[in-house]
Amino acid sequence: MKTDLNKLRSNLNILGNNLNSLSNEVKVVMESNSEIENNFKEIKCRLRNLSDTILKLRNEVYEESISLDSVKEIVKSELETYDADKTGKTDFALESSGGSIISTRNTETYFVGVPTMSIFGIPICKQHNIPRIIIQVSFIINIL
């Protein structure tokens, strides 16, 4: 019985030591948990500040990029483009639509293809095109 009592005391001492060790480990875990929570709160606060800063910068950039004056200038420019011919598209001045070329002294002739007509390699006449050929329908059809 004495040996059983000694074994029991020994086991009780081991159990007490294990309990103390476990208690110390729990304290360490609790301290780590507290430290992690503090770090998490700090990160959360920094993210909130960063988000606010990004939002402020985005608003500043947006306000600078689209100001009322720049919108007015864009609208004015587009209205001038549209108002020129009421389409805003490229103008093709064909002779059939009333377009004409005003000849001046320095108006150059326009050569299309081979500049001379020849039969069997013998040149017969030179082919000169007047400047208004460029606005005639037949020329535009040949180009396309």
DSSP states of 9-75 as a string? HHHHHHHHHHHHHHHHHHHHHHHHHHHHHHHHHHHHHHHHHHHHHHHHHHHHHHHHHS-HHHHHHHH
Q: Are residues 29 and 79 in the same domain?
A: yes
Domain count, the chain: 2
Please indicate, yes or no, whether residues 103 and 60 belong to a single structural domain of this protein.
Answer: no
69 and 107 together in one domain: no
pLDDT tens digits, the chain, 144 residues: what are they?
Answer: 788 888 888 989 999 999 999 999 999 999 999 999 999 999 999 999 999 999 998 888 777 667 778 888 888 988 887 776 666 666 666 777 777 777 777 766 656 555 566 778 777 776 666 667 767 766 555 554
Model pTM score: 0.34
CA distance 14 to 22: 12
CA–CA distance, 88 with 112 (Å, rounded to integer): 31
6 lies in the same domain as 69: yes
Task: Mark whether 105 and 123 lie in a shared domain.
Answer: yes
* Judgement on whether residues 80 and 127 belong to the same structural domain of the protein: no
Domain identity same for 109 and 67 = no
Q: What is the pLDDT of residue 29?
A: 92
Phi/psi for 125 (5° steps) reads -150, 155
Same-domain check for residues 100 and 76? no
* pLDDT of the residue at 144: 46
Domain extent at residue 116: 92-144
Same structural domain, 55 and 112? no
Domain match, 63 and 102 both: no
Q: Is the domain of 116 the same as that of 60?
A: no
